[in-house]
Amino acid sequence: MNGLKVVGIVLGAAVILAIGLLIGHFGIPRDPKWVKELAQDLDEKFINQFMNEVDNKRIEDNLRILSNKPHYATSAGDEELVQLMLSRWKDPEFGLDDARDERYHVFLSFPDAANPNTVKVLTQNGSNPFTAELTEEKLTDDQKDPDILQPFLAFAPNGSVQGKLVFANEGKVSDFEYLAKLIDLNGTIAIVRYGGTGRVNKAINAAKFGVIGVIIYTDPKDINDGKSNASDTYPNSWYLPPSGVERGSFKENFGDQLTPYYPAKEFTYRIPESEIKGISHIPAQPIGFADARQLICELNGAQAPDNWQGSLGCTYNIGPGFKQNRFDNSDFVQVNVYNKRIIKPSSNVMGIIRGAVEPDRYVLYGNHRDSWVHGAIDPSSGTAVMLEITRVLGTKLKQGKWRPRRSIIFGSWGAEEFGLIGSTEFAEEYYSKLRDRTVAYINVDISVFANATLRVQGTPPAQSVVFTASKQVKTPSNSLTVYDNWKNHSNRTSPQYGVIPQIGSLGVGSDFAPFIHYLGITCMDIAYTYDRRVTSARIYPAYHTAFDTFNYTAKYIDPGFFSHQTVARTAGNVLLRLSDSLILPLGVKDYVETLEGYYSRAESFQTNLSKYNISLEPLKTEINRYKRAAEDLEEKIKNLKKSDKSPYNIRRINDQLMLLERAFINHLAFPDKLYFSHVLWASRSSSVATFPGLADAYQTAVESNLKQHWDLVHHHLTIAIQAVSNAASTLEDVTKI
Ligand SMILES: *[C@@H]1O[C@H](CO)[C@@H](O)[C@H](O)[C@H]1NC(C)=O
Ligand SMILES: *[C@@H]1O[C@H](CO)[C@@H](O)[C@H](O)[C@H]1NC(C)=O
Ligand SMILES: *[C@@H]1O[C@H](CO)[C@@H](O)[C@H](O)[C@H]1NC(C)=O
Ligand SMILES: *[C@@H]1O[C@H](CO)[C@@H](O)[C@H](O)[C@H]1NC(C)=O
Ligand SMILES: *[C@@H]1O[C@H](CO)[C@@H](O)[C@H](O)[C@H]1NC(C)=O
Ligand SMILES: *[C@@H]1O[C@H](CO)[C@@H](O)[C@H](O)[C@H]1NC(C)=O
Ligand SMILES: *[C@@H]1O[C@H](CO)[C@@H](O)[C@H](O)[C@H]1NC(C)=O
Ligand SMILES: *[C@@H]1O[C@H](CO)[C@@H](O)[C@H](O)[C@H]1NC(C)=O
Ligand SMILES: *[C@@H]1O[C@H](CO)[C@@H](O)[C@H](O)[C@H]1NC(C)=O
Ligand SMILES: *[C@@H]1O[C@H](CO)[C@@H](O)[C@H](O)[C@H]1NC(C)=O
Ligand SMILES: [Zn+2]
């Protein structure tokens, strides 16, 4: 081989190699740009950064502004906060992509400033030895604000009634049944304490026994751990002062009452007021316990049962009428109510962050904006947290450092205190879109009831994401994680996981109600709360009074605002996991424990059901099927290989996870219950914690033993079976059909 030949071969090889490299570079197909973009997943480092940047001082500043003035729905103070929310969410440096004000014309009720509601004692000759205070005592400058609403019960009908006074404990049906055996209730006025049953139910129950007017007060036993002396109450402690009065909505159903199922726009058809259900037809008025003491401690008649006695410092008698002492036995109590019902525009403020990959999938996060008075805790503690979360995320967004995978919609709801009105109107207006595209709703209303431990209510698919987040946050008070501290305060033994923190179920206590009960969206409500070893207060003592102020919060509820910060970190962590994770962090298998628990409690019905040839077996079969489907899906997710993560496959799995909660919705299941459609979580009167329709139908049937009622049990069992079956098939592989 000569040298030239060698050079030729080497040169030739080099040329071939070069061509090969060029072909390789340009010719072999590489992943297009969208492959990487569509695979955008959660960034744990970003979550850490977010949590580090959540600032307790800024939350404190937010709360100071938010609770500066009384801001009941549609008031001047409320309108100012609408502008505040808009300006924060539109800020060029830390705002969101978009923010807007959405108005509804909603049916509200207010006291008449010119003609205040009163509770009086009147003698036979017309003199007036006692009138309850019209306002709370001006213990600090906050109570001097001219915009404070006089205590009242929204939607309590106006009217003037007088009669002999009786004490009816908590105003439960059983309380009136007890009284009716001893005394004639016809034409009486009942004084009842908060607690035990819903606010309006006290008057609805009372009316059935011939009572013509109701007075409601807060007993220091229930709210103040028994303390009633002014020296032991605010501003000397967190306890309710003797003049404090809990205001509140006086109706059973949520949403705008004149436009059920439709958004309350100007053009919307409104039902006549006479068709409104679930309201009181007798006047009612709340008073403070200083005034209640003057009435209750003077009552004549038999001594009330031991468990009716409270902490007013006297023996409670049932009446009717007064002892011959300070008042005359023939004296009447008169209740005068002049509440005015009125339709007014109320705003939701919506803030939006567009998702980078799945803009048509929404994570919702919200809280109401309206209060009863200054509302520092309810609701501003939640809004102060929401504004800090949006400040941190908005800053990253504007700096181009972050954009969520899915869209995030923040809601500052209007008129919640009157019955979850803003959130319900929103759910109605965007019904189809929210139903089809919403991943979950996070509600943070009162963010800090007290500073001891996390408290979460939610449906089972929310459990795992809340656990993950709470394990990443430290408590402000000890070296534990929020998760471990929570577990130490409130726990249960799960067949699957052992001892875990207890997640409560969602009632209708805040704006999550339309989302879970009507739309079937996985919901959770997150807050910090009491150490039950230290207090038995029914709720934080200043709730819905003129004492729920910034100073009250800063001094007694959360000095330093570290619990607020902890809630912001935890709720924000959950929000980021839901908005940014490639696969939705919804634990659908965690429904198995609920379903099996429901089944085991329903088994006590089987003996009676057998008499009517009704079997629970098909329900068991569907629950087992659900269990298999959930396990299969979670197994499949765990073993997803990179090559399985095509955008289509990811979307398919996520839709199964997102739509699982929806499968439990049946709008025809509860025709007598407005909005309630979730077959597992609808309201229930029976004490058996199983499928609510089945439990209530069974109770009715057992009581009446009528064939038609046993048929209704069969009907509700069928509804339950069908719901579980729908849920199972939502999770099953599509080829199973
Ligand atoms: C009305 O009765 C009260 C005692 O019940 C008495 O003190 C008062 O003087 C009477 N007033 C009139 C105008 O008779
Ligand atoms: C709140 O407390 C601060 C500090 O003690 C005090 O200066 C201020 O006057 C209080 N505000 C009201 C409205 O009571
Ligand atoms: C209750 O009292 C009214 C008049 O005060 C009377 O018309 C009515 O019949 C009474 N009802 C009962 C059930 O006693
Ligand atoms: C209530 O407080 C006052 C002083 O503020 C005190 O003199 C009185 O003894 C207290 N009463 C009770 C029942 O504790
Ligand atoms: C009570 O309300 C009705 C209807 O809102 C109204 O017509 C009536 O004038 C009111 N009565 C009083 C005493 O305010
Ligand atoms: C569970 O909660 C109780 C209080 O309800 C507490 O005493 C106990 O220590 C908790 N268990 C765990 C393992 O934290
Ligand atoms: C849990 O709470 C109990 C009080 O019930 C306390 O004694 C115990 O130290 C707590 N456990 C931890 C790990 O903090
Ligand atoms: C909660 O705050 C009070 C002050 O109001 C304080 O004494 C207590 O130690 C705090 N508890 C926790 C768990 O931080
Ligand atoms: C009971 O139901 C089964 C099927 O569910 C049916 O085959 C049987 O005839 C029924 N018996 C009676 C007495 O209705
Ligand atoms: C079965 O029904 C009967 C009559 O309706 C009732 O008395 C009994 O308490 C019921 N048994 C159970 C376990 O519910
Ligand atoms: Zn609230």
Q: How far is the CA of 115 from the centre of ligand 1 (A)?
A: 26
On whether residue 548 sits in a domain, the answer given is: yes
- Interior CA angle at 621 toward 617 and 624, to 5°? 135
**Residue written as tokens 């699982």?**
660
Give, using CA atoms, the residue closest to atom 2 of ligand 7: 488
Q: Are residues 554 and 574 located together in one domain of the fold? A: yes
Ligand showing the shortest atom-to-Cα distance for residue 502: 6
Long-range contacts of 124-129 (CB under 8 A, 24+ apart): 124/328, 124/330, 124/331, 129/326, 129/327, 129/331
pLDDT at 695: 98
What span, in angstroms and rounded, lies between the C-alpha atoms of 704 and 712? 12
* DSSP class of 506: P
pLDDT of residue 727 exceeding 60:
yes
On whether residue 661 sits in a domain, the answer given is: yes
On whether residue 35 sits in a domain, the answer given is: no
On whether residue 708 sits in a domain, the answer given is: yes
User: Which pLDDT band holds residue 29 (cuts at 50, 70, 90)?
Assistant: low
Pocket of ligand 7 (CB under 6 A): 480, 488
Chain mean position to CA 701: 32
pLDDT of residue 735 exceeding 90:
no
Q: Are residues 16 and 160 located together in one domain of the fold? A: no
Paired sense of beta strands 340-353 and 98-110, if any: antiparallel
Q: Are residues 209 and 327 located together in one domain of the fold? A: yes
pLDDT at 725: 98
User: Which pLDDT band holds residue 701 (cuts at 50, 70, 90)?
Assistant: very high
On whether residue 37 sits in a domain, the answer given is: no
Q: Are residues 506 and 429 located together in one domain of the fold? A: yes
**Residue written as tokens 């209510």?**
457
Q: Are residues 362 and 262 located together in one domain of the fold? A: no
User: Last residue of a domain, which of 338, 367, 395?
Assistant: 338
Evaluate the CA torsion angle 614, 618, 622, 623 in order and state its sign. Answer: positive
Mutate to test the pocket of ligand 10, among 605, 702, 707 (most ligand atoms within 8 A of CB): 702
Packing angle of the helix pair 199-208, 173-182 (nearest 10 deg): 30
User: Which pLDDT band holds residue 633 (cuts at 50, 70, 90)?
Assistant: very high
On whether residue 36 sits in a domain, the answer given is: no
For ligand 2, whether the C-beta of 502 sits within 6 Å is no
What span, in angstroms and rounded, lies between the C-alpha atoms of 366 and 514? 12
User: Which pLDDT band holds residue 30 (cuts at 50, 70, 90)?
Assistant: confident
Q: Residue 281 in contact with residue 349, Cβ under 8 Å?
A: no
pLDDT at 71: 98
Tokens of 704: 């009446």
pLDDT of residue 1 exceeding 60:
no
User: Last residue of a domain, which of 558, 580, 602?
Assistant: 580
Q: Among residues 136, 246, 416, 622, which one is catalytic?
A: 416
Index of the ligand 8 atom closest to the CA of residue 531: 13
Residue 206, domain CATH: 3.50.30.30
Q: Are residues 244 and 308 located together in one domain of the fold? A: yes
Q: What is the pLDDT of residues 356-394, one digit of tens each?
A: 999 999 999 999 999 999 999 999 999 999 999 999 999
Q: Are residues 409 and 309 located together in one domain of the fold? A: no
Question: Residue 310 carries which side chain, given as an amino acid letter?
Answer: G
Helices (H), 28-68: 33-38, 44-53, 56-66
Provide φ and ψ at 84, rounded to 5°: -60, -45
- Interior CA angle at 137 toward 133 and 141, to 5°? 145
Paired sense of beta strands 453-458 and 491-494, if any: unpaired
User: Which pLDDT band holds residue 33 (cuts at 50, 70, 90)?
Assistant: confident
Q: Are residues 397 and 544 located together in one domain of the fold? A: yes
Range of the domain at 703: 588-736
**Residue written as tokens 């109770």?**
699
pLDDT at 36: 85
DSSP percent split of the chain into helix, strand, coil, nearest 5: 45, 15, 40
On whether residue 505 sits in a domain, the answer given is: yes
- Computed over every residue of the chain, the mean pLDDT equals 96
Q: Residue 350 in contact with residue 358, Cβ under 8 Å?
A: no
pLDDT of residue 620 exceeding 70:
yes
On whether residue 316 sits in a domain, the answer given is: yes
Of 444, 461, 429, 426, nearest in space to 659 by CA: 461
For ligand 2, whether the C-beta of 464 sits within 6 Å is no
What span, in angstroms and rounded, lies between the C-alpha atoms of 56 and 429? 36
Q: Are residues 91 and 140 located together in one domain of the fold? A: no
| Number of independent structural domains in the chain | 4
Q: Are residues 537 and 637 located together in one domain of the fold? A: no
Residue 693, domain CATH: 1.20.930.40
Q: What is the pLDDT of residues 552-578, one digit of tens each?
A: 999 999 999 999 999 999 999 999 999
pLDDT at 493: 98
Q: Are residues 218 and 275 located together in one domain of the fold? A: yes
Residue 422, domain CATH: 3.40.630.10
pLDDT at 319: 97
Q: Are residues 596 and 475 located together in one domain of the fold? A: no
pLDDT at 643: 86
pLDDT at 644: 87
User: Which pLDDT band holds residue 13 (cuts at 50, 70, 90)?
Assistant: low
Question: Residue 589 carries which side chain, given as an amino acid letter?
Answer: K
Residue 360's H or E segment, with its range, is strand 358-368
Ligand showing the shortest atom-to-Cα distance for residue 325: 1
| Neighbouring residues of 114: CB distance < 8 A, sequence distance ≥ 6 | none
Q: What does each C-alpha distance from 95 to 386, 399, 531, 649 come to in angstroms? A: 13, 11, 36, 34
User: Last residue of a domain, which of 323, 338, 353?
Assistant: 338
User: Which pLDDT band holds residue 35 (cuts at 50, 70, 90)?
Assistant: confident
What span, in angstroms and rounded, lies between the C-alpha atoms of 284 and 249? 11
Q: How far is the CA of 327 from the centre of ligand 1 (A)?
A: 11
Of 639, 634, 681, nearest in space to 518 by CA: 681
**Residue 425 appears among annotated catalytic residues:** no
pLDDT of residue 17 exceeding 70:
no
Tokens of 567: 């809630």
| Neighbouring residues of 655: CB distance < 8 A, sequence distance ≥ 6 | none
Of 499, 77, 463, 111, nearest in space to 285 by CA: 111
Q: Which region among 34-43, 241-250, 507-516 has the lowest average model confidence (pLDDT)?
A: 34-43
